[in-house]
């Protein structure tokens, strides 16, 4: 019998004996379930043994994944770094055969999965031309998996064309050569679809190329979509966007010139990729690998798929990288109408007449919304000026997705990019002005169509987009860069070029830390990795992952998260020091705080 005292049961002697027996039996029978309340008690010896086994297995599989990444990288290099498109395609135009050659080509997507062009393309819809960035990596970010920009456009029935580029630039290739090649591509697509001007899709750095094409191809192109595209390079937020100050802290464009000279006239894109990783080391240097180690069974294939693209480094010509750094990164000439295309020809963004759709994200630390939108008030004095110019600019923002997520996130592709494509006719029908595109999706399901979600275009004022930043300080950076570049080009560059050979350039290429950190764990460079591959195969056959609530596994995740926060705090201290140094060197330090 039990006697109640308040809310507690007072056991009788016979109850106490049975309770002891039950507790002993429970320890024996429920040992595998010990520690179900993660972190609330001391882990059992069984938990410790299971965790040690699991750590050993995950360590083997983790290093085997890095071995596979290295082998994939070398295999991709031997194959000539072909574009990583997950769609069948045919080449229509190879710009390497032009009178003024450029290392670009135009592809037509011919098949999506088992569906061919005739089965999935509606010729009544506008063709879409995708242009990927040359920012260190090869083409394919817009279509290296099915749930992507390319996949969504094909699923919506649009004829899709893709602009690729090759690993090596043509000798002496200039930005003017590239832009002339892109214009030829646009003319070819327009010829194939008369009466339906193509939609231009520019990702990241390709956004300014698409913008220049829009200014140069008046009447030839339809709406242009700029995804995470920096057009106002000086804009940004203090403490959030330190990359805009890198040019000033490094003395301007001369360092890029030096790197191109050491590369025998070519600039190695691995330097740009390294800059991206250094921008947020807590993500690129720690969290990426911690996530792989913590869930090697679920993350392995996703990790290898992305790294295959991330580790394919392409080159730019000396002329290209200098034009990009001097005119865009340091000079910010595009929004000011001073970007020189060729003799007597300067870019003027006011000449753009086709509608523009600008997609930016507040989670993007590489191209923040200020850099994606700050050019608008620099080109148009106010909203009335924009309306008098007859232009329609629509922008939409995401609250959290990162820079690469704008192009590769499956959720973004299924919702935002589908909404953009389905709303292009509505955009063209808008009166001249500035609008913010709002997507109302009550279901929360990204894979939905109208009328399951609704798109609204809310009028906005150009004046509200004005960005306050120390313009005078950045003007000083531009002048210092011009001085340093003149001194380097006159007194140093000839000697560096005289001492550089193709052999020395190739040696520097393979000694770059972005490559050595990868290929040194490949079977080709490290024979011991063959034994690891055999061990990993045996481990995978008998692999039994721990349950997610295992107490030691939960503590491991907490420790990994704390290390990530420590690295983030150190990065914030570094960025604050850089901002302070920039302010002391170029003045207006108060404006940066």
pLDDT (average), residues 365-390: 93
Of the candidates 448, 440, 444, which has an alpha carbon nearest to the alpha carbon of residue 396? 440
Q: Which of 57-66, 183-192, 233-242 has the lowest mean pLDDT?
A: 233-242
Give the three-class secondary structure for 220: coil
So what's the pLDDT on residue 122? 81
So what's the pLDDT on residue 446? 67
Of the candidates 235, 228, 231, 249, which has an alpha carbon nearest to the alpha carbon of residue 575? 249
Of the candidates 387, 354, 360, which has an alpha carbon nearest to the alpha carbon of residue 374? 360
Cα→Cα distances 33→19, 40, 190, 550, 553, Å: 19, 14, 66, 9, 14
364 or 32, greater pLDDT: 364
pTM above 0.85, yes or no: yes
The rounded Cα 255 to chain-centroid distance in angstroms is 24
So what's the pLDDT on residue 289? 97
Give the three-class secondary structure for 230: coil
Residues 38, 43: Cα–Cα separation, whole Å: 9
pLDDT (average), residues 386-410: 89
* pLDDT of residue 96 exceeding 50: yes
Give the CA count within 13 Å in the CB-facing half-sphere of 97. 6
pLDDT tens track for 275-284: 999 999 999 9
* pLDDT of residue 574 exceeding 90: yes
The CB density around residue 419, as the number of other CB atoms within 10 Å, is: 22
The CB density around residue 37, as the number of other CB atoms within 10 Å, is: 10
Q: Which of 25-29, 127-131, 212-216, 284-288 has the lowest mean pLDDT?
A: 25-29
So what's the pLDDT on residue 154? 83
Contact 135, 329 (CB under 8 A): no
The CB density around residue 334, as the number of other CB atoms within 10 Å, is: 22
So what's the pLDDT on residue 116? 59
- Say if residue 531 is preceded by a cis peptide, omega within 30 of 0: no
* pLDDT of residue 21 exceeding 80: no
* Residue 296: Cβ-neighbour burial (10 angstroms; 0-12, 13-18, 19+): buried
Contact 180, 122 (CB under 8 A): no
pLDDT tens track for 320-357: 999 999 998 998 888 887 888 877 677 889 989 999 99
What tokens appear for 305 in the block? 């798929």
Residues 153, 130: Cα–Cα separation, whole Å: 10
* pLDDT of residue 4 exceeding 70: no
* pLDDT of residue 8 exceeding 80: no
Contact 129, 189 (CB under 8 A): yes
The CB density around residue 286, as the number of other CB atoms within 10 Å, is: 17
Q: Which of 142-146, 262-266, 299-303, 372-376 has the lowest mean pLDDT?
A: 142-146
pLDDT tens track for 518-568: 999 999 999 889 999 999 999 999 999 999 889 999 999 999 999 999 999
* pLDDT of residue 5 exceeding 50: no
So what's the pLDDT on residue 156? 82
408 or 88, greater pLDDT: 88
- Mutual angle of helices 528-541 and 45-78, in 10-degree steps: 130
> In the chain, what percentage of residues exceed pLDDT 90?
65
> In the chain, what percentage of residues exceed pLDDT 70?
90
152 or 307, greater pLDDT: 307
**Please, what is the average pLDDT of the chain?**
87
pLDDT tier at 25, thresholds 50, 70, 90: very low
Highest averaged pLDDT of the listed ranges 200-204, 209-213, 246-250, 502-506: 502-506
Which residues, including other chains, have CB under 8 Å from residue 79's CB and lie 6 or more apart? none
DSSP-assigned letters across all residues of 527-542: THHHHHHHHHHHHHHT
The tokens 């490290």 sit on which residue?
A: 526
Residues 178, 210: Cα–Cα separation, whole Å: 11
């Amino acid at each position: 019998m039990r006697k109640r005292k308040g809310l507690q049961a007072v056991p009788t002697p016979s109850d106490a004996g049975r309770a002891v027996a039950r507790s002993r039996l429970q320890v024996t029978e429920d040992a595998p379930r010990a520690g179900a309340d993660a972190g609330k008690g001391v882990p059992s010896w069984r938990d410790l043994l299971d965790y040690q086994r699991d750590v050993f297995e995950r360590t083997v599989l983790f290093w085997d994944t890095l071995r596979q990444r290295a082998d994939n990288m070398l295999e991709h290099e031997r194959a000539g770094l072909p574009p990583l498109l997950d769609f069948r395609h045919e080449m229509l135009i190879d710009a390497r055969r032009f009178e003024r050659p450029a290392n670009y080509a135009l592809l037509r997507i011919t098949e999506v999965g088992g569906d061919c062009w005739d089965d999935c393309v509606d010729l009544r819809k506008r063709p879409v031309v995708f242009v990927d960035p040359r920012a260190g990596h090869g083409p394919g970010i817009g279509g290296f998996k099915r749930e992507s920009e390319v996949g969504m456009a094909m699923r919506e029935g649009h004829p899709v064309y893709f602009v690729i580029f090759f690993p090596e630039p043509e000798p002496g290739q200039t930005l003017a050569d590239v832009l002339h090649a892109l214009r030829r591509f646009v003319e070819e697509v327009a010829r194939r679809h008369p009466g339906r001007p193509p939609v231009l899709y520019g990702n990241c750095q390709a956004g300014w190329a698409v913008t220049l094409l829009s200014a140069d191809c008046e009447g030839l192109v339809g709406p242009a979509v700029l995804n995470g595209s920096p057009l106002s390079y000086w804009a940004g937020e203090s403490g959030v966007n330190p990359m805009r100050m890198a040019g000033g802290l490094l003395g301007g464009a001369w360092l890029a010139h030096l790197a191109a000279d050491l590369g025998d006239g070519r600039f190695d894109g691995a330097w740009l990729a390294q800059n991206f990783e250094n921008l947020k080391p807590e993500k690129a240097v720690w969290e990426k690998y911690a996530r792989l180690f913590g869930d090697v069974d679920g993350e392995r294939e996703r990790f290898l798929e992305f790294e295959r693209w991330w580790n394919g480094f392409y080159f730019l010509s000396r002329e290209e990288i200098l034009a990009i750094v001097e005119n865009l990164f340091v000079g910010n000439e595009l929004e000011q109408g001073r970007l020189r295309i060729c003799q007597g020809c300067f870019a003027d963004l006011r000449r753009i007449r086709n509608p523009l759709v600008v997609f930016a994200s507040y989670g993007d630390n590489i191209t923040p919304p200020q850099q994606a939108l700050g050019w608008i008030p620099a080109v148009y004095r106010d909203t009335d000026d924009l309306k008098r110019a007859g232009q329609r600019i629509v922008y939409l923002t995401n609250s959290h997705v990162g820079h690469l997520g704008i192009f590769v996130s499956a959720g973004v592709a299924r919702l935002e990019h589908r909404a953009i494509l389905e709303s292009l006719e509505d955009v063209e029908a808008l009166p001249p002005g500035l609008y913010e595109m709002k997507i109302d999706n009550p279901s929360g399901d990204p894979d939905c169509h109208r009328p399951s979600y609704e798109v609204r275009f809310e009028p906005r004022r150009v004046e509200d987009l004005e960005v306050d930043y120390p313009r005078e300080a950045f003007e000083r950076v531009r002048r210092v860069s011009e001085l340093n570049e003149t001194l380097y080009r006159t007194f140093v560059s000839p000697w560096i070029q005289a001492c550089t050979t193709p052999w020395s350039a190739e040696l520097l290429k393979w000694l770059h830390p972005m490559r050595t950190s990868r290929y040194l764990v490949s079977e080709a460079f490290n024979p011991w990795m063959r034994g690891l591959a055999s061990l990993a195969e045996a481990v995978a056959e008998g692999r039994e992952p721990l349950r997610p609530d295992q107490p030691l596994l939960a503590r491991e995740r907490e420790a990994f998260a704390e290390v990530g926060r420590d690295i983030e705090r150190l990065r914030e201290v570094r960025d604050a020091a850089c901002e302070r140094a920039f302010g002391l060197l170029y003045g207006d330090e108060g404006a940066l705080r």
